[in-house]
Amino acid sequence: MTADRPRQAALEVLRAVREDDAYANLVGPQVIHGFGLTGRDAGLATELAYGTLRWRGLYDAILTPLVTRSWDRVEPALQDVLRLGAHQLLAMRVPDHAAVDSSCDLARAAGAPPGAAARAGFVNAVLRKVAARDVEGWATQLQGGRADDDLGWLSTRWSHPTWITRALRDALGPRRDELVDLLAADNAPVRPTLVARPGRIDVEELLALPETEPGRWSPLAAALAEGTPAALSCVRDGRVGVQDEGSQLVALAVARAAVDGGDTAWLDVCSGPGGKAALLDGWVRERGGQLVAVEQHEHRARLVREALGPHSTADVLVGDARERPWGDQRFDRVLVDAPCTGLGALRRRPESRWRRTPADLASLGPLQRELLSAALDAVRPGGVVGYATCSPHVAETELVVSDALRGRDDIEVVDVPALLPEVPDAAVGPYLQLWPHRHGTDAMFCAILRRRL
């Protein structure tokens, strides 16, 4: 028997993530298109792949004692098959026999023909053991005598590396009791969010489409209620982008902050892949100005140009922002959407939690500080700088800002939550911190700094 195409596609996504370091949100649509899947089949393949990646930690904890050899000695391809089967048994409405039989089919095709029967038999035996309990039954067994708030237990139950669970708990500060809600939100499927790009389409036109409904916070947002973004002509022609509302709100805050004097020269320091740049470009052109967008890598600079569209007057520079490729020009508004660990986007990039390590914080920290310093030097007196990360980790947010301000008396901190009064419960002092479980967005952080006259 041949495995069905949605499951084959999901397994191919898992393989690409594992072997090629692919990003699921990028490779997934390509694989699904390559398999010719649409509608419910495309949705099934997406849930199979994304759900398996999200819950990999829990499934590995369940599967490891059920195999007769070390889990590390199980072929990686069969590990993926077992995880895929466990997801169907424990998190989807797939009958046990269908989940097991389809997984055996995948196992038969996972290697050379002589071993097909043995691989299928192995997968069959393990998954029948998994099917003996539901997910709560397995959770009870795995918890043992550990307390409900034990970090190791929470990390297993909610499928996050322990260091990330600890970092998220610390980032919540006095609201640590929300940790389980946050971890659960990281594992919830996410509907695509669209943005009406200023100067190219009105949000009313976007919301008139039967597939869309209003966003929660951003005045430019629409949630895609059904279908895929690529099916919409306004997305294909670039008038509408696919962009999380958190990212939209960061760009909006930078555009709303008051500046003293002119307001026609804007800079996006880390512009790839171009989502925020497209918003800033539309707004600055409405004011008769121009955007300068800087991106270090040419392939990402091409994405920026695509997002900006053919009618943009923006100047896209390929270079390292720390070396100030814009020369001596000073700007009225500057955005630094700094490279970060992406711990705030785990719900959309489920594989990231298994790739990132604490060492990434040490390597990214100096870069974030240098980029913010370059931005502060590039803004003119009276202008503003927005510093943003898609991470709530204090080492990438408040500590970076405080270090950049140390020894400077020409910078004042702007109250970002006051710029976004429509978004509740997002203030950390003068900074903005969004959360998946509170706002349904990525955990975006934003600080805005004004250079004094």
Residues 6+ apart with CB under 8 A from 399: none
Cβ atoms within 10 Å, residue 334 = 29
Q: Which helix (H) or strand (E) holds 69?
A: none
Cβ atoms within 10 Å, residue 161 = 16
308 class by beta-carbon count within 10 Å (0-12 exposed, 13-18 middle, 19+ buried): buried
Q: Which residues of 210-243 are buried (b: 16+ CB within 10 A; e: fewer)?
A: ebbeebebbebbbbbeebbbeebebbeebbbbbb
Which two three-digit tokens encode residue 229?
A: 């973004």
Integer Cα distance of 257 and 212 in angstroms: 30
Residues 6+ apart with CB under 8 A from 195: 218, 220, 221, 222, 240, 241, 242, 243, 248, 275, 279
Residues 6+ apart with CB under 8 A from 190: 347, 348
The owner of tokens 């990360």 is: 389
Which two three-digit tokens encode residue 105?
A: 């089919």
Cα 430 to the chain's mean position, in Å?
Answer: 24
Catalytic residue among 234, 270, 340, 390: 390
340 in active site: no
Which two three-digit tokens encode residue 377?
A: 């030097």
- How many distinct helices (H) and strands (E) make up the chain? 21, 13
Phi, psi of 296 (to 5 degrees): -75, -30
Q: Show which residues are catalytic.
A: 390
